[in-house]
Amino acid sequence: MSKRRTLLAAAVAATFLFSGASHAEYKDEYTVSTVLPSAFPWGQAADKWVELVKERSDGRINMKIYSNSQLVSGDQTKEFSAMRSGLIDMAVGSTINWSPQVPELNLFSLPFLMPDYAAIDAITQGKAGEAIFAAIKKRGVTPLAWGENGFRELSNSKLTIDEPADLDGLKIRVVGSPLFQDTFTALGANPTQMSWADAKPALTTGAVDGQENPLSVFDVARIDQVGQKYLTRWHYMADPLVFAVSNQVWDQFSAEDQELLKQAAIDAGQWEIEKSRGEVDATLAAIKERGVEVTELTPEQREAFKEATKSVYEKWTSRIGEDLIKQAQEAVANRNQ
């Protein structure tokens, strides 16, 4: 009798454990951090991910987006640390903003590494992309897929810029990354690090002369209204986005739900990349219609800027990783083969 009772107790315990695992103690709602809201491709990428996960999980997994970095009091550079510690569950984040915690992500900020979309894809979809994802995972966050914030272009209120000498002495607002500081210093500019909340007033008053951002940001944020009349499309760097989940949260999901979250992120990323790239021509036309002078660099002009920023590679190669940079450069060189 005692043997039957023991077996019955074991069966009940197994059933309880299995039930607990299959309905892992999921939260009623998971936080998703982004910097830009739904008016921008970045926010739309997060929207699509949330939509696909809810649909494919039949409402079991619910995610809520917190844009404008509100989960970290507006300081986007703290997003990765907050996710690593479990204060933020998930994010669609910027390689720039996460680079202080993941040095390998500075690869994408190296000036004039990626001349076109094929170059971005060659890096993110190849060995270099795999190595970067491994570096992110190692630091406490599980990366799932790539998205896109676009090439960052240069605008200013003073003059047409088509050669390095044109930047001499210009006060340019840059994001909080030392690599950006080094790039614009190498070009003879006077880079000033400040948050985007501070940047628009500074552009309005002339405290800074220019800024760099993707076309979508220039357009939606109406940067032309704060005196930015000259825009140079120089494709000096791109800012891929990363769909990711805190390791602490990731480990709570079943294998099936991990796959669901990952595939939804991949699909959302591909959708957003295609949408973002497909809207560039229309966005550019809208910017020109508002009276902004747009300069398109020739390959020779772009090469002059690349030559002028060689010192940045010399300084940052050891920090990013020589092998990783070589992988990326080879991927770009072979992208059309």
pLDDT means per 10 residues, the chain with 337 residues, are 47 42 75 95 97 98 96 92 95 96 97 97 98 98 97 98 98 93 98 88 96 96 96 96 97 98 98 96 97 96 97 97 97 93
**What residues have CB less than 8 Å from 268, skipping those under 6 apart?**
45, 46, 48, 49, 52, 145, 147, 243
Cα torsion through 172, 177, 179, 183, rounded to 10: 0
β-pair partners for 156: 210, 230
pLDDT for the residue 24: 55
User: Backbone dihedral region of 189: left (phi > 0), alpha (psi from -120 to 50 degrees) or beta?
Assistant: beta
In this predicted model, what pLDDT tens digit does every residue of 171-181 receive, in sequence order? 999 988 899 99
Measured in degrees and rounded to the nearest 5, phi and psi for residue 294 equal -105, 125
Pairing of strands 210-214, 141-156: antiparallel
**Three-class DSSP category at 190:** strand
**pTM summary value:** 0.90
Structure-block tokens of residue 74: 């507006």
pLDDT per position as a tens digit, 153-163? 999 999 999 99
Residue matched to tokens 């080879």? 330
Q: What is the pLDDT, as a whole number, of residue 15? A: 41
With 0-12 / 13-18 / 19 or more C-beta atoms within 10 angstroms meaning exposed / middle / buried, residue 175 is buried
State residue 10's pLDDT score.
Answer: 46
**What CA–CA distance (Å, rounded) separates 198 from 194?**
6
What's the start-to-end Cα distance of the chain, in Å?
A: 74
Region class of 169: left (phi > 0), else alpha (psi between -120 and 50), else beta: left
Cα angle: 14, vertex 16, 19; to 5 degrees? 105
Counts of helices then strands in the chain (DSSP H, E)? 15, 9
**What are the φ and ψ backbone dihedral angles of 170, each rounded to 5 degrees?**
-70, 135
CA distance 179 to 106: 8
For CA atoms 58, 61, 64, 67, give the dihedral sign.
Answer: negative
Distance CA 133, CA 126 (A): 11
